[in-house]
Amino acid sequence: MTEIVVLGAGYAGLRTVRELSGTSNVHITLVDRNSYHYEATALHTVAIGTNEAEHITFDIQKAIPKDVTFKQDNVTRIDTQNKTVTLEKEATPLQYDYLVVALGFESEDFGIKGAATYGLPLQDIESAQAIRKHLEERLAAYNDSHDERDLHIIVCGAGFTSIELLGELVYRMPSLVEQYHLPADKIQITCLEAMPKILPMFDQKLVDFAVQFLADHGAIIHTSTPIDEVTDHSVISGDNVYEANTIIWTTGVRGSHVISDSHFDQKRNRVAVTSQLTMKDHPEVFIIGDSSAVPDPASGRFYPTTGQISIAQATHTAKNIKASIDGTPLSDFTYKSLGTVCSLGPTTGIAEIGDSGRIKLKGRKVALVKKMVNDRSIMEESGFANMMRNLS
Ligand code: NAD
């Protein structure tokens, strides 16, 4: 029996076990620290409270094929020499013939002073719920505190996550103002971005639309504003001090700490894999999703990390593992993006879809595209029943 161990039940891990399921003479073990899978691309909606956690999560055990063994445990270390994986609760390490590492991302603070202590990261369900709790508590506190910083929110970084989060925030803010009887003119939503331009992968007209939409709804983006320090009530960039009692830290992500804990050759917990998605010198170890850096043969650079590409890597990995078991050559991973969608709250957004982003969309129709993408992903990963539950 060939033992295949898959670490992480995110988009990549779940897809891998589904594709490998049914292979003869193979036993598959899937490990995740949670009993549930969550839609990482919708975390910002839970953080702002436009969505509940139960709408973007589902039970892993119910979503995986019957021939896959699921272990809910924390992965602590991978030993590629002995082909074992150490878990927190289980005394005996798992032995593998093939290993798929799909452990996802963690928030990156770049070692900026105060960021880890005072910034609220967005990296999983717990941190998303913590942001919502903090935000609502500070707004509710204003009527007693009369501290205007309770009405100020700073979003650090203006990447995809920040912009999508800002979109949800400006959508929900009017109802928060009403709920907590707040002075709307004193609410301040500020986004601080180090680079001179935001969302460089989008056409400038679409970026301008997004920036204008957010500004019209009260969220101001300051570009060329690199954050130097975060304190309990402020964010500092050069000589400028921005004050707020809610500081959301979304300046980018790194791979899983298990990668560095296992002493792999890595950069920001990402391993540069071969074009077959394997670890150099370890053709039996596949690293996919946000903990990997995958070379794009066309550009010579690494592919960007997205949920969409993680799923494509998982399908390719399953194909390569089957090829390896059969003794046939592994194939190189290539990828063509189906498009990029950036929501600005539940009712609008910007998108580039089709070949090389040929179709450019902005406004309400993007919300429909985004919903179709999300529902398709939920349907594929969890089955039709879960999709119906999420739609209801
Ligand atoms: P990101 O790296 O894309 O963006 C982080 C932003 O923070 C960057 O613009 C960076 O310049 C800025 N930043 C970093 N350090 C800073 C500092 N000290 N001061 C000010 N600004 C600073 O990270 P993300 O938005 O978390 O996204 C992570 C990954 O997930 C990306 O690959 C992204 O494409 C993907 N993602 C995709 C979608 C989507 O397709 N809709 C949604 C969310 C995330």
pLDDT tens for each residue of 315-370: 999 999 999 999 999 999 999 888 889 999 999 999 998 777 689 999 999 988 88
Residue 299, classed as helix, strand or coil, is coil
**Residue among 108, 253, 374 to mutate when testing ligand 1 (max atoms within 8 A of CB):** 253
In terms of DSSP H, where are the helices of 156-266? Answer: 160-179, 204-216, 257-261
Res 388 pLDDT > 80: no
pLDDT of residue 339: 86
Q: Where are the beta strands (DSSP E) in 240-297?
A: 240-243, 246-249, 253-255, 271-272, 278-279, 282-287, 292-293
Mean pLDDT of 32-43: 95
pLDDT at 243: 98
Ligand 1 closest atom vs CA 157: 7
Whole-number pLDDT of residue 286: 98
Contact 6, 100 (CB under 8 A): yes
Q: Is the CB of 227 under 6 A from ligand 1?
A: yes
pLDDT of residue 241: 98
Candidates 110, 135, 105; CA nearest to 120 is 135
Q: Compute CA 96 distance to the chain's CA centroid, rounded to the nearest angstrom.
A: 27
All structural domains of the chain: 2-107+253-334 (3.50.50.100), 115-249 (3.50.50.60), 336-392 (no CATH)
pLDDT of residue 381: 60
**Percent of the chain residues past pLDDT 90, beyond the cut:** 87
pLDDT at 380: 62
Centroid of ligand 1 to alpha carbon of 342 (angstroms): 12
Q: Residue with the nearest Cα to atom 14 of ligand 1?
A: 251
Please, what is the average pLDDT of the chain? 94
The Cα 27–Cα 14 span in angstroms is 15
Q: How confident is the model at residue 266 (pLDDT cuts 50, 70, 90)?
A: very high
Higher pLDDT, 323 or 304: 323
391 pLDDT band (50/70/90 cuts)? very low
Report the range of poorest mean pLDDT among 65-69, 331-335, 378-382: 378-382
Residue range 95-121: average pLDDT? 97
* For the CA of 160, the nearest atom of ligand 1: 25
Predicted pLDDT of residue 336 = 85
Instruction: Please tell me the pTM assigned to this model.
Output: 0.93
Find the mean pLDDT for residues 154-164. 97
| pLDDT confidence of residue 368 | 87
Q: Of all protein residues, whose CA lies closest to atom 9 belonging to ligand 1?
A: 159
Give the strands of the sheet with 229-230, arranged side by side. Answer: 229-230, 234-237, 240-243
Task: Check residue 379 and give its pLDDT.
Answer: 56
How sure is the predictor about 385, in pLDDT bands with cuts at 50, 70 and 90? very low
Residues above pLDDT 70, as percent of the chain? 95
Asked whether 337 lines ligand 1 (CB < 6 A), one says no
Picking from 269, 240, 247, the residue whose alpha carbon sits closest to that of residue 110 is 269
Whether residue 305 has its Cβ less than 6 Å from ligand 1: yes
